Amino acid sequence: MKLLALETANEQCSVSIVDATQTLFLQQDHRARAQTQMILPMIDQGLIQTQLSLSDLTAIAFSCGPGSFSGVRINAAVTQALAWANNLPVIAVSTLQALAQAAYRESQLTQVTAVLDARMKEVYIASFELDDQQIMQAVDTEQMLSYALAADYAKYSLVGSGSALINENEQQYQQITANALDIAAIARFYAQKQQWVDAEHALPIYLRDNAWKKLSEQVKA
């Protein structure tokens, strides 16, 4: 098994290549909105460094959202293009699940409420618990909620960029962010069960209705 994992949904860019047991490649670019320029060169660098071609891969995994509108769209578009061209299946990973996985990877948290700033005084939110396979699994439904409603919806310690927005006293894990390693960890679990889909189903998840119509509002928020 060899997986290519892409993460651009949080206004940064990271690429990882893993096999069944280890990380073969990881590169990150933390500059905001650099995804368009960096994602393809980083993929190329990963393939060169690991001496692999796209045809050697088992699947391509990507963060499907919710998150930055442009970042989620870039991730889905690149994944679709590469998967179609190379007849590869895709594994869509929730950005909130990846954030929860990052909380386990970085801070060994096993129960978290993942919260991302959705702008316009709203957050994306869901809660997760660690399973026996060391994968964070959802215990409720991913939602986009106002700060007040999100505060009532939260179950566990808050992690992610939206933490302080719904509870100013919970900032300890506000800086935790997911990267391609977290996408890869979750995707490896699904790939072992061959839980993947065709390239045409590599679709972004926004949670916000008519997200494309609200870009100007998001910039102003």
Boundaries of every domain in the chain? 3-94+178-201, 95-166
From first to last of the 221 residues of the chain, give the pLDDT tens digit: 999 999 998 778 999 999 999 999 999 998 877 787 899 999 999 999 999 999 999 999 999 999 888 889 999 999 999 999 999 999 999 999 999 999 999 999 999 999 999 999 999 999 999 999 999 999 999 999 999 999 999 999 999 999 999 999 999 999 999 999 999 999 999 999 999 999 998 899 988 764 444 434 433 33
The arrangement of secondary structure in 95-166, i.e. its CATH architecture, is 2-Layer Sandwich (3.30)
Query: For the chain, percent helix, then strand, then coil, each to nearest 5?
Result: 40, 25, 35
The one-letter code for the residue type at 122 is: E
pLDDT at 209: 62
Instruction: Please choose, from the candidates 88, 98, 100, the residue with its C-alpha nearest in 3D space to the C-alpha of residue 196.
Output: 88
Query: Model pTM?
Result: 0.92
Residue 153 in contact with residue 125, Cβ under 8 Å?
Answer: yes
CATH topology of 3-94+178-201 equal to that of 95-166? yes
pLDDT at 127: 98
Element (H, E) at 191: helix 180-192
Place domain 3-94+178-201 in its CATH homologous superfamily. Answer: ATPase, nucleotide binding domain (3.30.420.40)
Report the alpha-carbon distance of residue 147 to residue 152 in Å, rounded: 9
pLDDT at 215: 38
How distant is the alpha carbon of residue 54 from its chain centre?
21
